[in-house]
Structure 1
Amino acid sequence: MELGELKSRAIRIHDLYDRLNRRERGRVWTRNEFMLGFMGDVGDLAKLVMAEEGARDVPGGRTALEHELADCLWSVLILAHRHNVDLELAFRRTMAELDETINAQLARYEDTR
C-alpha cells in the first residue's frame, strides 16, 4: 500500500470512530486527545518491544507488536491529517535533511583519518 492509500484508509477509520464517539459520548476526540491516545500507544509499543527483546513478559507476542505498530502508524497519519501536514512531503524533506547532515558528519570522521 502506498502512503496515500494508508492515509485514506486511516481517515475512513477515523471517521468511523467519530461516528461511534458521537453516539456513545456525544462528542469526538480533540487533536490533544488524539495525541494523548498516541502517547498511550507508544507506551504499549515500548513494552512490546521490550518483550520482543526478552526484557519483559507481555502477553500477545509478535501479533500484539504488529498490531501496536499499526496503531502507532494510524495515529501518526491521523495527527498529520488533523494538523494539515503533508506527511509525504514532510517525510521526504526530513529524510533529505538527515541524509545531508549525517553524510557531512561521516565525511568529517573520514577526513580526520
Structure 2
Amino acid sequence: MDFHEMQERARTVRARYAEVEATAYGRSWTTEEIMLGFLGDVGDLAKLVQGKAGVRPREDLDEALAHELADCLWAVLTLADAYDVDLLGAFTSTMDELDGALAED
C-alpha cells in the first residue's frame, strides 16, 4: 500500500466512524475530539514504549505496539485530511530541512 492509498483508507475508516458517531451521539466528532482521541492513543503508546523498556511488560507487547502506532498514524492522517494538509509534501520538505540542518553540523 502506498501513501496515497493509506490516506484514502484512513479517510474511508473515518467516514465509517462518522456514521457510527452520528448514530450514537447525534453528530460526528469534531477535529478537536479526534485530536483528544489521538492524545489518548499517544498516552497508550507511551505505556507500550515503557513496556519495550521492561517497565510495563505484557504478553502481547509487540502486537499492541504495532496496533497503537497504526492508531496514531490513522489519527495523523485523519487530522491532515481534515485540515487539507499535503502530508506527503510536508513530510518530504521537513525531512529535507532536517537533513540540511544535520549536514551543517
- Name the TM-score, length of structure 1 as normaliser: 0.89
Within-5 A mapping of 1:94-105: 94-105=94-105
- Aligned pairs, number: 105
The answer for the alignment partner of 1:63 in structure 2 is 63
Distance in 1, matches of 2:26 and 2:58, equals 34
The answer for the alignment partner of 1:83 in structure 2 is 83
Gaps of 5+ in 2: none
- Name the TM-score, length of structure 2 as normaliser: 0.95
Provide Cα deviations, 1:12-48, integer angstroms capped at 9, x if missing partner. 0000000000011101111111111101000000100
Within-5 A mapping of 1:4-43: 4-43=4-43
Amino acid of the structure 2 residue aligned with 1:99: D
- Based on CA coordinates, which of the two structures has the bigger radius of gyration? 1
CA drift of 1:49 comes to 1.0
Distance in 1, matches of 2:20 and 2:36, equals 19
Q: Could you say what secondary structure the match of 2:10 adopts?
A: helix
Q: Which runs of 4+ in 1 moved over 2 A?
A: 57-60
Distance in 1, matches of 2:104 and 2:6, equals 33
Contact 1:18–1:28 at 8 Å: present in 2 too?
Answer: yes
Two-structure CA RMSD over aligned residues (Å): 1.0
Gaps of 5+ in 1: 106-113
Distance in 1, matches of 2:61 and 2:47, equals 11
Q: Could you say what secondary structure the match of 2:44 adopts?
A: helix
